[in-house]
């Protein structure tokens, strides 16, 4: 299962705002916000829609390994000539609109 932390990280890595992810997934922005706060109420179709939208944007979801190797994560597929999103030092709450 994808975690709220993975969703937030994946969105940050792609540079997508909540509204952009909502549009790409076909879900309301409020649903994305709820999922990112880890308050999801068993909506597997919503999780799948968000996962597919982020994967289409170049995200790879990494399952958790054993405890010595770390937990679940995300990474970007190798891309060339494509907008790299927002640099980590430029991330802020202002990027969420």
pLDDT digits (tens, 9 = 90+) for 21-48: 999 999 999 999 999 988 666 688 999 9
Q: Are 18 and 29 in contact (CB under 8 A)?
A: yes
Class of domain 4-85: mainly alpha
Residues 6+ apart with CB under 8 A from 96: 17, 18
Does residue 66 or residue 95 have the better pLDDT?
A: 95
Q: What percentage of the chain carries pLDDT values higher than 90? A: 49
- Which tokens belong to 21? 């992810």
Residues 6+ apart with CB under 8 A from 42: none
Task: Tell me the sheet residues that pair with 72.
Answer: none
Q: Are 32 and 18 in contact (CB under 8 A)?
A: yes
| Whole-prediction pTM | 0.73
């Amino acid at each position: 299962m994808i975690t709220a932390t993975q969703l937030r990280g994946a969105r940050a890595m792609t540079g997508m705002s909540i509204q952009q992810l909502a549009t790409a997934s076909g879900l309301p922005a409020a649903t994305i916000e709820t999922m990112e706060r880890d308050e999801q109420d068993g909506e597997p179709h919503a999780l799948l829609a968000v996962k597919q939208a982020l994967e289409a944007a170049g995200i790879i979801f990494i399952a958790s390994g054993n405890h010595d190797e770390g937990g679940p994560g995300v990474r970007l597929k190798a891309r060339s000539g494509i907008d790299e999103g927002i640099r980590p030092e430029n991330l802020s709450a202002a990027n969420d609109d």
